[in-house]
Chains A and B, each alone.
Chain A
């Protein structure tokens, strides 16, 4: 069983829709939770990170962590075609980039 599970999609939604992307994990020691966005033919870039449980909002993006259920989510409000990308969840038990475990990524397409 993988430590981090993520539905690969693809997920296709119309412009303006609310998008929900999710990951589950098995290691209860994970404390740092991240979402990376990867455009086609580009490297991933950090979109959001949260520490421990709770919500974090940044513009149209909200990251949510439920440690009791070992479940994290990324919500995108008022989705735009420019949001079309692969979204990778990532998590770590320690504050070191060398210990980050990545999900396999969900491919998202926003239809104009």
Chain B
């Protein structure tokens, strides 16, 4: 089983619908992240959480919200999806003690299409 699991892997929805992407991890890491990947733009940080009581906005948080339900679970919500939120979404974890950069461990991604 993958250390970082994302569900669903693929989702097609309509404009205005509420969508939740879920992430769970078995790595025991405190830090969790949500990224968005678009062609030509690379990975952009949406939200991150250093522990259950800590939530921080990333560079592109508008239109998104998150919930850290437990150390191992971090979900991303789109309250009212719009077409330009069509993208590949990645959850990642890190452990601050692992090297100076805090290596990121990614899930396999959730492809979201908003029609």
Residue ranges of A at the interface with B (Cβ–Cβ < 8 Å): 4, 6, 8, 32, 34, 36, 41-46, 49, 51, 88, 92, 95-98, 100, 102-105
17 CB < 8 A contacts A-B: A36-B104, A42-B109, A43-B4, A43-B109, A44-B90, A49-B99, A49-B103, A51-B100, A95-B100, A95-B101, A98-B45, A98-B56, A98-B58, A100-B104, A102-B43, A102-B44, A103-B42
Check if A104 sits within 8 Å of B42, measured CB to CB.
yes
Check if A43 sits within 8 Å of B106, measured CB to CB.
yes
Check if B102 sits within 8 Å of A43, measured CB to CB.
no
A72 CB → nearest B CB, Å: 14
Check if B109 sits within 8 Å of A97, measured CB to CB.
no
Picked from A8, A41, A44, A100, the residue with its CB within 8 Å of the CB of B101 is A100
User: B48 near A: Cβ within 8 Å?
Assistant: yes
What chain A residues lie within 8 Å of B106 (beta carbons)? 43-45
A45 CB → nearest B CB, Å: 7
Instruction: Given A41-B108, A41-B109, A104-B41, answer yes or no on A32-B56 (Cβ-Cβ < 8 Å).
Output: no
A84 CB → nearest B CB, Å: 18
Which residues of B in the span 56-115 have a Cβ within 8 Å of any Cβ on A?
56, 58, 90, 92, 94, 96, 99-109
- A43-B109, A98-B56 given; 7 more Cβ-contact pairs under 8 Å: A32-B101, A46-B103, A88-B43, A95-B101, A95-B102, A97-B33, A97-B96
A95 CB → nearest B CB, Å: 4
Q: Considering the chains assembled together, what is the distance between the CA atoms of A42 and B110 in angstroms? A: 10
Check if B101 sits within 8 Å of A98, measured CB to CB.
no
Check if B101 sits within 8 Å of A105, measured CB to CB.
no
Q: Considering the chains assembled together, what is the distance between the CA atoms of A14 and B45 in angstroms? A: 35
Which residues of B in the span 25-43 have a Cβ within 8 Å of any Cβ on A?
31, 33, 39-43
Q: Considering the chains assembled together, what is the distance between the CA atoms of A97 and B33 in angstroms? A: 9
What chain B residues lie within 8 Å of A51 (beta carbons)? 100
Picked from B43, B92, B100, the residue with its CB within 8 Å of the CB of A32 is B100
What chain B residues lie within 8 Å of A49 (beta carbons)? 99-101, 103
